[in-house]
Structure 1
Amino acid sequence: MNNLLGSLFVIFYLLASSISSGQELKVENLDSSLTSNQNRTEQLMEFSDSIQRIDSLRAVALEEEIDRLQNSEIVRRQTLQAKIDSLNRRKAEQKIMVQHQVDSLRAVNLGVPLILNDDTLFYIYSKLGPFGPSQRAESIAHKLKMLGDRDDFDPDKLVVTTGAESDDISYEEIIILSVTDTDGFWINEARGKIIQTYREQIVESLAAYRDHFGVYNNMKRFGLLILVFIILFLGIKYMNRGFTALNIRLVERSSKYISGIKIKQIEVLTPEREKQVLRLVLKGIKWILIILIVYIALPTIFSIFPATENLANQLFGYIINPVKSIVLGFLGYIPEMITIAVIIVVAYYVTRFLKVVAREIENENIVVPGFYADWAKPTFNLVSIIIFAFSFIAIFPYLPGSDSPVFKGVSVFLGILISLGSTSAVSNIIAGLVITYMRPFKLGDRVKIGDTTGDVMSKNLLVTRVKTIKNEDISIPNSAILNGSTINYSSNADSLGLVLHSTVTIGYDVPWRKVHELLIDSATNTEYISKYPAPFVLQTSLDDFYVSYQINMYTKQAGFSSKIYSELHSRIQDSFANAGVEIMSPHYRAERDGNDMAIPKGFKPGADPNDIKPKN
């Protein structure tokens, strides 16, 4: 516990040192500003003094000439006197001009205060020799404190002496402060009056200072300091005991209520880990309260003694000022928040309206000529993105810190990072938009994309998902679809019908009309094949040993094409076998040398019909 208090005191001592450094920096900046203005004032005064010296010399010369003139030369004497009066008027006007210039500088700079015992006696505006205003104020304050700390101090020994360049206040041959003509210009008073006023203020302030730092008051302060330390020690001690008892009551005695934390079937925390977490939380709360109590006690301790009272105000300011800044910032940000809220509300309701319109178009309750129903949803998504993008652009200037160079730098960095890392994604998004409005297929269509054949299950801006007849889900990038070829089997199936076709090769010994009849009969009896238009046969080639016959038939069920082909081939085999016609494969040649015919056994001439039936 003692180590903790010692560490905290060291930390706050360093804080106090930083505060003092900041104050010194502020004083130096103020001193440099006042020194700059002082230089301007001295230049004005030097310019004015040079003119006044010239005018004074001319006035003396004119007065000497008047004295030499005889009484008979009255006109000449009057002329010279008029010139002297003119020089005096110009001298007075020059002084007024300099005073106006000093007044304008005084309105900008308030001067360096001379503070003794938290009481501002007066302000110093000008430098004296090599010493700036802040150095003069510091030196005078130091000398006054030395006088106030002397047991034999006698205010009657503070005397005022008048010199050619300045009026001084001294104590036993020690010059406490000096007032020059420059100080008089800044204060707009005669320096004799200023020095007397300063002496009265110093005497009153030293009397208050000696009373404030008397033995009786110092004893009270030390007693109060001891009392604060006792309260601080007891507060931390009993708080520590209270948290120990609370730990026992909540954790140890409440074990039956601690059963761990589970999310569905996943055990996030076991009962023992939950107890450890509760102990850590209580321990963290305890230390936060201890630090808060010590932080509040330290400014109280500093405020007991006048020498450290400013540190107390600074420590309280570390808490009060941020809270004040947050509150004032929040109140000042209310107009921007209202603007942001209006933009968000407008964007939200515009988006909802467009969503309703898009749903009605998708359900074909609203028909827009040239606009397909399946365009409604992607168009709504695209417009929504544009609306939200423009809303963000409109909101961005009202965000706190949007003008910060760090904020702008992070935004540029993220933009470059996204641009470099999303080249393929952007190409897929562009391809997805093009595909959406090209309409090469829609959901549920049977398509062939590259080497993949299946039904379109979903499509978005990045990929299109196809489900094959083997229940395989294949994701195809939109850029690959755009760059390749796509066959849509379903686009014309409902209107014109999809033409399915298959090829068989039959030898020249079979009449082609018979082959046509058998193929058409097989196709007609196949499920999902349309009766109208009727199936038809094309002879696609006359080869060396056989003729290639292509059976073509219409269907409106493109999704069942695999099943249709399978059934068709089965029926073709049965029809040709029943007719006694051999289906010749490519490069197959039958030589009749007594071998059996290349048809199923049950279909051979004179065969038993029971051989056709499958065996159980």
Structure 2
Amino acid sequence: MKRPFILPLALWGVLGIATALSAQMDTSTAQRDTSEVRPARVFVGRTAVFTYTQPLGPFSPQERAQRLQALLDRLARDPALDVTRLAARDRGTETDVVLGDLVLMTLTDADAAAQGAPRQVLAAQVVESLRDTLRPEAERHTLRSLLIGAALALLFTLIFALFLKVAKRGFVRLSTFLQSQRGREGALLSLRGVSLLSWDTLVDLGLAFFNLFRLGVYALATYAYAAATFGLFPWTQTWAKTMVGYVLDPAAAVFWGIANFLPNLFFIAVIALVIHYAMRVLNYLSDLLENRTLELPYLPPDLVRPTRQIVKFLVCVLAVMVVTPYLPGAGSAAARNLTLFFGVLISLGSTSLVGNLLSGFVLTYMRAFRIGDRVQVSDTVGDVVGRSLLAVKVRTIKNEEIFIPNQAVLNNHIVNYSAVAGEQGLILHTTVTIGYDAPWRKVHAMLLDAADRTPGLLKSSPPFILQKSLDDFYVSYELNTYTDKPNDMARIYSDLHQSIQDCFNENGVQIMSPHYRAQPETPVLPEEYLLSLKGK
């Protein structure tokens, strides 16, 4: 037996089992519904025709519903049923619904009061409802309908088997074609000589998607065949309706969801268009400000770019706030729970993040430093090579990159060596301690000579010397020089110290801080002063 016929035969077996069990299922419907649900309802097929809420003599609503349900189930399976014989027969205080001489149910004034209608009107409504529901149910059980259903089921089975056979051949050919593409040379996608996507990788991906597609086609075809076949017979029509509902109900929900979303989509498109042109205008104005074609007194050119980024961010946030209520599912419980979750997450974990963002705004408009400036933040000295709303990147003189959070930068003192170096010059200073036996004028001359020899210092701004202290055994001399190259501070300091050593060595003056344990017999004075004292 060929494999394409296995699944249809299995479905035919299911139909046989359903036929054998249908009587038991139908007769148990009333008992299941009336014993579990209050008030007690009576069905014809899947349609509720009446609901009992009042007892009649010793019979409870559930017992009344159970008796009527059994009669209706038996009538619904009678192909010779004549629904025109249904009628309402009034007996004074009660009204019977009859089928010829068979009394189906009795309606009382209490039943009518519970339904909110006069007894005779209620009886007429019940008769009409039974006629509308019993007629199609009885017609489904006629021999003609069953034979037509069997013929259509056989036709559906042949079509389904033919589809499986054709689909299998097509899938085999497609799989063979994909397999034939293995081993091809060259890369479909590469980056700087590195292969990111080869033919073999593409074939593997194609085969994976192909297998999923094949499984989906077989599953969908089987589902459609089962639903169509079940819908041909009265015992399994409920299953068919359920299976079709599983597909059509979500599809209808998606369709109407899209249809109802179209007006909101138009509004969102208008907002997106406005934001797009607002961004273009903002970029145009910022370009004018950066090129100094347009000037604003309180917005220097170096603040134009960060200001543009901040304004763009605020505009995007505003757009999201305006558009969010018009998105699908924006007012659902899932959206509210998701918003609550992210709100709690941000409030608990973003204290430092918000602090760094606000500190970034403050540092931007403080103009404490710019890219390329030599700065000192706490104990870190280096050049500013990058900045963002969260951190500042500094490259030290040892070529180390350090990321300092904006909040840490703002909480510490900031020394900017480059702020006025280009206009007034940065003062580099160093201190030497020389004994009292060296004349101070000679020390000044040597220090000035050392400054003159050092490259990188400004010649237009003369250096100067401060005698900072007269200590017990030596004098502290501070040499102050000017430079417009703060980024070369380390090299200039090194060159300056070398020049000081050379000048002092050439003049025979030791760079040291002498200490004495006893008073010298000869005062520690320069030689010229000692000679003048001896002459006296």
Question: TM-score, normalization: structure 1?
Answer: 0.67
| Root-mean-square deviation over aligned CA pairs | 4.5
Query: Against the structure 1 CA distance between its residues 533 and 380, is the aligned structure 2 distance closer, same or farther, given a 3 Å change threshold?
Result: same
Structure 2 CA distance for aligned equivalents of residues 559 and 143 of structure 1: 103
Match of 1:470 in 2: 398
Query: Against the structure 1 CA distance between its residues 211 and 525, is the aligned structure 2 distance closer, same or farther, given a 3 Å change threshold?
Result: closer
Match of 1:281 in 2: 209
Tell me by how many angstroms 1:388 deviates. Answer: 1.9
Alignment partner of 1:585 out of 502, 512, 515 = 512
Query: Against the structure 1 CA distance between its residues 279 and 138, is the aligned structure 2 distance closer, same or farther, given a 3 Å change threshold?
Result: farther
User: Does 2:444 align with 1:538?
Assistant: no
Match of 2:528 in 1: none
Structure 1 CA distance for aligned equivalents of residues 133 and 409 of structure 2: 92
Q: What secondary structure does 1:168 align onto?
A: strand
Structure 1 CA distance for aligned equivalents of residues 224 and 360 of structure 2: 63
Structure 2 CA distance for aligned equivalents of residues 179 and 416 of structure 1: 61
Structure 2 CA distance for aligned equivalents of residues 465 and 255 of structure 1: 49
Structure 1 CA distance for aligned equivalents of residues 405 and 479 of structure 2: 36
Alignment partner of 2:357 out of 429, 441, 454 = 429
Structure 2 CA distance for aligned equivalents of residues 154 and 432 of structure 1: 87
Q: Is the 8 A contact 1:507 1:545 kept in 2?
A: yes
Structure 2 CA distance for aligned equivalents of residues 494 and 374 of structure 1: 17
Structure 1 residues 167-178: aligned runs within 5 Å: 167-168=95-96, 170=98, 174-178=102-106
Match of 2:416 in 1: 488
Match of 1:553 in 2: 481
Match of 1:46 in 2: none
> Which range moves more in the overlay, 278-287 or 178-187?
178-187
Structure 2 CA distance for aligned equivalents of residues 287 and 368 of structure 1: 66
Match of 1:459 in 2: 387
Q: Is the 8 A contact 2:393 2:404 kept in 1?
A: yes
Tell me by how many angstroms 1:160 deviates. Answer: 7.3
Q: Is the 8 A contact 2:75 2:81 kept in 1?
A: yes
Structure 2 CA distance for aligned equivalents of residues 238 and 124 of structure 1: 51
Give 1:505's aligned amino acid.
Answer: T
Post-superposition CA distance 1:472-499 (Å, at most 9, x none):
2222222222222221111122222211
Structure 2 CA distance for aligned equivalents of residues 261 and 349 of structure 1: 38
Match of 2:227 in 1: 299
Post-superposition CA distance 1:319-375 (Å, at most 9, x none):
233222222211211121122222233233333333333343344333322433333
Post-superposition CA distance 1:238-292 (Å, at most 9, x none):
43344234323431x3434487776435566776665554443333222211111
Tell me by how many angstroms 1:175 deviates. Answer: 0.9
Tell me by how many angstroms 1:457 deviates. Answer: 1.4
Match of 1:323 in 2: 251
Radius of gyration: which is bigger? 1
Q: Is the 8 A contact 2:451 2:481 kept in 1?
A: yes
Q: What secondary structure does 1:304 align onto?
A: coil
Structure 2 CA distance for aligned equivalents of residues 157 and 351 of structure 1: 78
Query: Against the structure 1 CA distance between its residues 471 and 588, is the aligned structure 2 distance closer, same or farther, given a 3 Å change threshold?
Result: farther
Tell me by how many angstroms 1:444 deviates. Answer: 1.6
> Which range moves more in the overlay, 204-213 or 300-309?
204-213
Q: Is the 8 A contact 2:433 2:512 kept in 1?
A: yes
Match of 1:528 in 2: 456
Q: Is the 8 A contact 2:42 2:51 kept in 1?
A: no
Structure 1 CA distance for aligned equivalents of residues 455 and 513 of structure 2: 28
Runs of at least 5 residues in structure 1 that lack an aligned partner in the other structure = 36-111, 590-616
Query: Against the structure 1 CA distance between its residues 135 and 501, is the aligned structure 2 distance closer, same or farther, given a 3 Å change threshold?
Result: same
Q: What secondary structure does 1:414 align onto?
A: helix
Alignment partner of 2:301 out of 373, 384, 392 = 373
Q: What secondary structure does 1:350 align onto?
A: helix
Structure 1 CA distance for aligned equivalents of residues 85 and 386 of structure 2: 102
Match of 1:93 in 2: none
Post-superposition CA distance 1:189-238 (Å, at most 9, x none):
9679959x959996x99888766643344333223323322332343244
Structure 1 CA distance for aligned equivalents of residues 288 and 67 of structure 2: 86
Q: Is the 8 A contact 2:181 2:203 kept in 1?
A: no
Query: Against the structure 1 CA distance between its residues 163 and 363, is the aligned structure 2 distance closer, same or farther, given a 3 Å change threshold?
Result: same
Match of 1:504 in 2: 432
Q: Is the 8 A contact 1:358 1:377 kept in 2?
A: yes
Q: Is the 8 A contact 1:546 1:584 kept in 2?
A: no
Alignment partner of 1:339 out of 252, 258, 267 = 267
Indicate the structure whose relative CO is greater, using CA pairs within 8 Å and at least 6 residues apart: 2
Query: Against the structure 1 CA distance between its residues 183 and 394, is the aligned structure 2 distance closer, same or farther, given a 3 Å change threshold?
Result: same
Q: What secondary structure does 1:487 align onto?
A: strand
> Which range moves more in the overlay, 504-513 or 401-410?
504-513
Match of 1:400 in 2: 328
Q: What secondary structure does 1:553 align onto?
A: strand
Structure 2 CA distance for aligned equivalents of residues 326 and 145 of structure 1: 38
Give 1:301's aligned amino acid.
Answer: T
Q: Is the 8 A contact 1:258 1:275 kept in 2?
A: no
> Which range moves more in the overlay, 271-280 or 333-342?
271-280
Post-superposition CA distance 1:532-558 (Å, at most 9, x none):
332222222233443322221222222
Q: Is the 8 A contact 1:127 1:133 kept in 2?
A: yes
Tell me by how many angstroms 1:301 deviates. Answer: 0.9
Structure 1 CA distance for aligned equivalents of residues 13 and 361 of structure 2: 65
> Which range moves more in the overlay, 497-506 or 123-132?
123-132
Structure 1 residues 76-87: aligned runs within 5 Å: none
Runs of at least 5 residues in structure 2 that lack an aligned partner in the other structure = 517-536
Percent same amino acid among aligned pairs? 31
Query: Against the structure 1 CA distance between its residues 138 and 529, is the aligned structure 2 distance closer, same or farther, given a 3 Å change threshold?
Result: same
Tell me by how many angstroms 1:148 deviates. Answer: 6.8
Structure 1 residues 180-199: aligned runs within 5 Å: 194=124, 198=127
Query: Against the structure 1 CA distance between its residues 132 and 297, is the aligned structure 2 distance closer, same or farther, given a 3 Å change threshold?
Result: farther
Query: Against the structure 1 CA distance between its residues 344 and 189, is the aligned structure 2 distance closer, same or farther, given a 3 Å change threshold?
Result: same
More helix by proportion, 1 or 2?
A: 1
Query: Against the structure 1 CA distance between its residues 269 and 376, is the aligned structure 2 distance closer, same or farther, given a 3 Å change threshold?
Result: closer
Structure 2 CA distance for aligned equivalents of residues 548 and 432 of structure 1: 42
Tell me by how many angstroms 1:151 deviates. Answer: 8.7
Query: Against the structure 1 CA distance between its residues 255 and 455, is the aligned structure 2 distance closer, same or farther, given a 3 Å change threshold?
Result: closer
Tell me by how many angstroms 1:421 deviates. Answer: 2.1
